[in-house]
A and B are shown apart, each in its own frame.
Chain A
Amino acid sequence: MSSKEVIAKRAAAALVDGDIVNLGIGIPTLAADFIPDHIKVFLHSENGILGIGPTPLEGKVDKDLVNAGKLPVTVETGASYFDSASSFGMIRGGHIDVSILGVLEVDEKGRVANWSVPGKSVLGVGGAMDLLEGSKKVIVTTLHTAKNGASKIVKDLHYPITSERPADIIITELCVFDVDAEGLILTELFPGVSLTEVKAKTDAYFRIKENLIETESESKGAD
């Protein structure tokens, strides 16, 4: 499993039967493939769909049916369509149980930057701010470090903040942090990951859950 799939699988495991879920673009979209069989969740898309189904087969694409990333989708039995104002009313109004978001960075209070890169023209925000503001629970899914090795879990954001509202859970390919009023708490290390590695790759201050367990890699010797 790739790093991104590890993250997506853990995010899907945080969902509860009956949840209304909004998936962002990138790693969050992958989470749809890992939703446990024993639960049923309903996928919301901010462009006006509740009940997104699997990606259509080639030749079965409907040009009027796309997700928020403008990619073709299908709908499942019981789906509904609505206008953009209604859709964002659902989001701001607290009717979305879980949003799974990608980020540029997250700070030690769990606050997110995911909409604007300084030095580039600020020309897109889309639904990023609305989803952080209004979702009951926000799960951040991100690689722990950027391509240049810099930590994405930072003391202070280098990019413009998306919302003052912090995320609730942060999932990387190495570990899971919960967020409370004080900041980050490391609650899980993935198999084969040491506390030393997480400390070395995390710029933000974090507390460590009591009895945190390091486990051996499940796939020792494999790629």
Chain B
Amino acid sequence: MTKLITRGEAMNYIKDGCRMMVGGFGLVGCPLTLVETLLATSVTDLEIISNNLGEPGKGLGALVRQGRVRKGIGSYFTSNPDVAAAFNRGELDIELLPQGTLSEAIRAGGAGIPAFYTGVGAGTKIAEGKEERVFSDKRYILQEALRADVALIKARKADELGNLIYSKSARNFNPIMAAAANIVIAEVDEIVPAGGLCPENIVTPHLFVDFLVLKEGG
């Protein structure tokens, strides 16, 4: 059994209208080979959970520019003016969450927790429409967990089983997204035989990873 597939084969798992998580903090830790391959397909009407939606015309930003993103769920889209433009034209729906709430909602989604209370955002515009509850005289808002049909993540190195290690701050959202989607495709720089990664250092155990795709180019 091998989890290694081509980047073209990976596209069979991304359907029109699907909800997709994409790792990365800006372009750092974003699976750019997979995103570039997706750009060359006709898949559209995507709902994307990602901290940002790339940069103007780059990464997920290219999908936004082509009008193929229906909704973005993330914490910071200000750095991509295309997102604001599409939002203002009514072509893109946006759900904004504090970055810690976004990451915890993804973590919860992968850990079988349907929702949680957080104090972050209570009493602010972020809380509008959300259930509120008081614990020990402090206000908290209810946040539902996030899951997706497919997650595209980026790791530095995998073994043949799909165990993953990451590179520096390119880790960010990738390990939590690996747990929170029905199909998880990890783009990696290198694949080593099983045993090639020290068990103490593995960040994402292989049970979370369905497919591996090798990164192409620099």
Q: Which listed segment binds A: B5-13, B36-44, B122-130, B207-215?
A: B122-130
**Distance from B150 Cβ to chain A, minimum over Cβ atoms (Å):** 19
B101-120 CB contact bits vs A (8 Å, 1 = yes)?
A: 11110110000000000111
Q: Which listed segment binds A: B14-22, B77-85, B191-199?
A: B77-85
Given contacts A123-B94, A124-B75, contact A163 B104 (CB under 8 A): no
Q: Is the CB of B176 within 8 A of A84?
A: yes
Of residues 47 to 90 in B, which have CB atoms within 8 Å of A's CB atoms? 51, 75-79, 83-84, 87-88
User: Which residues of A have CB within 8 Å of B107?
Assistant: 85
Given contacts A81-B168, A124-B77, contact A64 B122 (CB under 8 A): no
Q: Is the CB of B75 within 8 A of A164?
A: no
Please tell me if A186 contacts chain B, counting CB pairs below 8 Å.
no
**Distance from A147 Cβ to chain B, minimum over Cβ atoms (Å):** 20
A186-215 CB contact bits vs B (8 Å, 1 = yes)?
A: 000000000000000000000000000000
Q: Is the CB of B84 within 8 A of A123?
A: yes
Q: Is the CB of A65 within 8 A of B169?
A: yes
Q: Is the CB of B104 within 8 A of A88?
A: yes
Please tell me if B97 contacts chain A, counting CB pairs below 8 Å.
yes
Q: Is the CB of B83 within 8 A of A84?
A: no
Q: Is the CB of B171 within 8 A of A48?
A: yes
Q: Is the CB of B76 within 8 A of A134?
A: no
B interface residue count range (under 10 / 10 to 19 / 20 to 34 / 35 or more) = 35 or more
Bound: A36/B118 CA distance, A: 36
Q: Is the CB of A129 within 8 A of B25?
A: no
Please tell me if B142 contacts chain A, counting CB pairs below 8 Å.
no
Q: How many CB-defined contacts (below 8 Å) exist between A and B?
A: 137
Bound: A49/B170 CA distance, A: 10
Please tell me if B28 contacts chain A, counting CB pairs below 8 Å.
yes
Given contacts A64-B28, A64-B167, contact A164 B122 (CB under 8 A): yes
Please tell me if B121 contacts chain A, counting CB pairs below 8 Å.
yes
Residue of B nearest to A122 (CB): B96
A36-48 CB contact bits vs B (8 Å, 1 = yes)?
A: 0000000001111
Q: Is the CB of A129 within 8 A of B124?
A: yes
Q: Is the CB of B100 within 8 A of A70?
A: no
Q: Is the CB of A125 within 8 A of B176?
A: no
A149-179 CB contact bits vs B (8 Å, 1 = yes)?
A: 0000000000011111000000000000000
- Which listed residue (A122, A127, A163) contacts B99, Cβ 8 A? A127
Q: Is the CB of A121 within 8 A of B119?
A: no
Bound: A31/B122 CA distance, A: 30
User: Which residues of A have CB within 8 Å of B118?
Assistant: 92
Q: Is the CB of B25 within 8 A of A70?
A: yes
Please tell me if B206 contacts chain A, counting CB pairs below 8 Å.
no
Bound: A87/B121 CA distance, A: 17
Q: Is the CB of B100 within 8 A of A88?
A: yes
Residue of A nearest to B138 (CB): A164
Q: Is the CB of A64 within 8 A of B29?
A: yes
Please tell me if A126 contacts chain B, counting CB pairs below 8 Å.
yes
- Which listed residue (A45, A67, A130, A160) contacts B125, Cβ 8 A? A160
User: Which residues of A have CB within 8 Å of B203?
Assistant: 83
Please tell me if A220 contacts chain B, counting CB pairs below 8 Å.
no
User: Which residues of B have CB within 8 Å of A89?
Assistant: 100, 104
- Which listed residue (B125, B139, B175) contacts A83, Cβ 8 A? B175
**Distance from A200 Cβ to chain B, minimum over Cβ atoms (Å):** 31
Please tell me if B26 contacts chain A, counting CB pairs below 8 Å.
yes
Residue of B nearest to A45 (CB): B169
- Which listed residue (A75, A126, A133) contacts B75, Cβ 8 A? A126
Please tell me if A66 contacts chain B, counting CB pairs below 8 Å.
yes
Q: Is the CB of A83 within 8 A of B170?
A: no
User: Which residues of B have CB within 8 Å of A87?
Assistant: 103
Given contacts A84-B51, A123-B87, contact A64 B98 (CB under 8 A): no
Q: Is the CB of B176 within 8 A of A124?
A: no
Q: Is the CB of A85 within 8 A of B176?
A: yes
Bound: A134/B79 CA distance, A: 25
* Interface residues, chain A, with chain B CB atoms under 8 Å away: 45-49, 62-67, 70, 75, 81-85, 87-89, 91-92, 116, 120-130, 133-134, 160-164
